[in-house]
């Protein structure tokens, strides 16, 4: 029997464990998988907290059903009947600009009528159609890409808020190729985004005609999907399905190569030997684990920064809210000078997220462009969030329910040079057979990305084991 050790019991580590057990079984390999988790609970940043009738998500609130990875995992786990797709009104997304909530346009006529972008900005954006594509292969920032193809106003009002909503990132430093590889591909494939959108719009129209549910053109592809009891059902179900052990409150403090595999040093002074080790730990944790093993690898991992984030959940009586909450929520351009990045109308996105007659709002504060927000105390966070909600949504009432969640390192930042960094990491790993890295620090921060990377890691483990025979 081959022993596999996995460091980290977030979605990446757990889905890797599941993939290994499934793939090894299909290959006729006898394996014993052990997952080590330093925290008292599994799930990592996935945590659905239920209090006073509210369901608050500590981290991500779902995944998009446009890609098969997570849906396939649900199928393997037998939890498809627990899936809950977001309400249709979640198609409506807003940007706060010019003192009002502007609905993101979903088609040409809506774009022309929208007040979000000025007429000069619209004309500049339309010129994207004739802009030549870039062919020098340079890894440019999202900001440089947006200014080059769409104009400065589109960067400020559209691209910037999108980057803060997904990555809590700064478009002036984020890599286009690594953050949005599909956008880079569309420019190379079609010569421009508008040309690509026209082709894709025809395809979407055909899908609608065929009766398929599709997401708003203003939002990302696919429909936001979670579970009846929150996204934590995914990680909890994965733990239950695993044949191997999941050891919580069991931190790995070091890695050492030994004959035939690896020795993991544990916080309690003990050790654990395994033929293969998969790290699904954050880059900053793995940096510490690999310092004595490979200083250059450790430095490469140290170069992946993380953005901090405060998540603020407010519950209100519905009667106290005059603003129409028929939508997903809103993001805020940096130029508006607001304290928060945006607010999701959680009880409008999914049912049963608030008690009957109440609503749940979830605001985000911090990110790469406002790292100091993580240092604010709870009273300051609450008061500043209330001030923003009063300005933007006209809410003058004290919230009946308040929960503040803090993430010192919320989301890894794929800054320019990220792809080259990953190549250098891969090169270092060639000297460490049986050590495999996965997690959201490398190939995507979304749930689908993590599950996809876990499946690839599972395949790598099986290949390693086959090579040992």
Start-end of CATH 3.50.50.60 domains in the chain: 2-45+234-304+415-468
What's the confidence (pLDDT) of residue 211?
63
Helices 447-468 and 69-77: crossing angle in degrees, nearest 10, is 70
What's the confidence (pLDDT) of residue 220?
56
Residue in this structure with the two tokens 């239950």, named with its chain if needed: 240
Start-end of CATH 1.10.3110.10 domains in the chain: 106-210
Cβ atoms of 96 and 332 closer than 8 Å? yes
What's the confidence (pLDDT) of residue 218?
42
CA distances from 20 to 236, 283, 334, 462 (A): 18, 22, 43, 7
CA distances from 274 to 30, 91, 172, 282, 453 (A): 13, 47, 42, 21, 21
Rounded CA separation 454/463 (Å): 14
| Two tokens, residue 446 | 């979304």
CA angle (375 as vertex; 369, 378 as ends), nearest 5: 115
| Two tokens, residue 344 | 């999701």
Start-end of CATH 3.90.660.20 domains in the chain: 306-412
At the top level of CATH, which class does the domain 2-45+234-304+415-468 belong to? Answer: alpha beta
Rounded CA separation 116/20 (Å): 48
In eight-state DSSP terms, residue 50 is E
What's the confidence (pLDDT) of residue 214?
42
Rounded CA separation 11/14 (Å): 5
End-to-end CA, the chain: 12
Fold of 306-412: Polyamine Oxidase; Chain A, domain 2 (3.90.660)
For residue 197, the number of C-alpha atoms closer than 13 Å in the C-beta half-sphere is 14
Strands 401-412 and 306-317: antiparallel
Rounded CA separation 269/168 (Å): 37
What's the confidence (pLDDT) of residue 217?
41
Extract the runs of DSSP E, i.e. beta strands, from 80-166. Answer: 83-85, 93-97, 100-103
Residue 314 has phi, psi (to 5 degrees) of -115, 130
Rounded CA separation 386/24 (Å): 52
What's the confidence (pLDDT) of residue 88?
82
What's the confidence (pLDDT) of residue 201?
75
| Two tokens, residue 125 | 């954006």
| Two tokens, residue 392 | 């933007």
What's the confidence (pLDDT) of residue 194?
87
Strands 358-366 and 340-344: antiparallel
Q: What is the pTM of this model?
A: 0.92
Question: Which residues, 6 or more positions from 356, have their beta carbon under 8 angstroms from its beta carbon?
Answer: none
CA distances from 70 to 19, 105, 166 (A): 12, 29, 18
At the top level of CATH, which class does the domain 106-210 belong to? Answer: mainly alpha
Q: For every one of its 469 residues, what pLDDT tens digit does the chain have, with 9 covering 90 and above?
A: 999 999 999 999 999 999 999 999 999 999 999 999 999 999 999 999 999 999 999 999 999 999 999 999 999 999 999 999 998 878 899 999 999 999 998 888 888 899 999 999 999 999 999 999 888 888 999 999 999 999 999 999 999 999 999 999 999 999 999 999 999 999 988 989 888 888 877 777 776 666 654 444 444 578 999 999 999 999 999 999 999 999 999 999 999 999 999 999 999 999 999 999 999 999 999 999 999 999 999 999 999 999 999 999 999 999 999 999 999 999 999 999 999 999 999 999 998 999 999 999 999 999 999 999 999 999 999 999 999 999 999 999 999 999 999 999 999 999 999 999 999 999 999 999 999 999 999 999 999 999 999 999 999 999 999 988 6
Rounded CA separation 5/140 (Å): 37
């Amino acid at each position: 029997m081959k022993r596999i050790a996995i460091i980290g019991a977030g979605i990446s580590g757990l889905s890797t464990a599941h993939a290994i057990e499934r793939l090894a079984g299909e290959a006729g390999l006898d394996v014993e998988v052990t997952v080590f988790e330093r925290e008292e609970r599994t799930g990592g940043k996935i945590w659905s907290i239920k209090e006073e009738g509210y369901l608050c998500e500590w981290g991500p609130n779902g995944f998009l059903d446009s890609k098969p990875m997570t849906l396939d995992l649900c199928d393997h786990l037998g939890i498809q009947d627990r899936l809950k797709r977001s309400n249709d009104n979640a198609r409506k997304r807003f940007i706060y600009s010019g003192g009002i909530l502007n609905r993101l346009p979903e088609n040409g006529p809506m774009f022309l009528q929208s007040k979000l972008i000025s007429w000069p900005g619209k004309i500049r954006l339309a010129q994207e159609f004739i802009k030549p594509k870039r062919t020098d292969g340079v890894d440019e920032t999202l900001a440089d890409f947006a200014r080059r193809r769409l104009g400065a106003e589109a960067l400020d009002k559209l691209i910037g808020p999108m980057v803060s909503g997904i990555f809590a990132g700064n478009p002036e430093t984020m890599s286009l190729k690594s953050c949005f590889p599909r956008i880079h591909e569309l420019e190379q494939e079609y010569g421009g985004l508008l040309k690509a959108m026209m082709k894709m719009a025809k395809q979407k129209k055909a899908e609608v005609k065929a009766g398929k549910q599709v997401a708003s053109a203003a939002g990302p592809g696919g429909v936001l999907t979670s579970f009846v009891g929150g996204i934590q059902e995914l990680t909890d179900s994965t733990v239950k399905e695993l044949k191997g052990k999941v050891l919580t409150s069991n931190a790995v403090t070091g890695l050492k190569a030994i004959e035939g595999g690896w020795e993991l040093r544990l916080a309690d002074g003990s050790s654990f030997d395994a033929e293969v080790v998969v790290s699904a730990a954050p880059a900053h944790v793995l940096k510490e684990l690999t310092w004595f093993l490979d200083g250059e690898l450790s430095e490469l991992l140290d170069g992946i920064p993380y953005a901090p984030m405060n998540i603020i959940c407010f519950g209100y009586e519905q009667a106290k809210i005059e603003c129409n909450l028929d939508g997903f929520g809103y993001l805020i351009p940096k130029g508006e000078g607001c304290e928060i990045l945006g607010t999701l109308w959680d009880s409008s996105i999914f049912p049963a997220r608030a008690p009957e007659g109440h609503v749940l709002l979830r605001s985000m504060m911090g990110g790469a462009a406002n790292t100091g927000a993580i240092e604010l105390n709870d009273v300051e966070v609450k008061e500043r969030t209330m001030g923003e909600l009063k300005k933007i949504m006209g809410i003058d009432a004290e919230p009946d329910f308040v929960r503040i969640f803090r993430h010192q390192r919320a989301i890894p930042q794929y800054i320019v040079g990220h792809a080259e960094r990953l190549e250098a990491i891969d090169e270092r790993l060639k000297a460490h057979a049986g050590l495999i890295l996965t997690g959201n620090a490398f190939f995507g921060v979304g749930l689908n990305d993590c599950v996809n990377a876990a499946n690839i890691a599972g395949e790598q483990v099986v290949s390693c084991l086959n090579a040992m025979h």
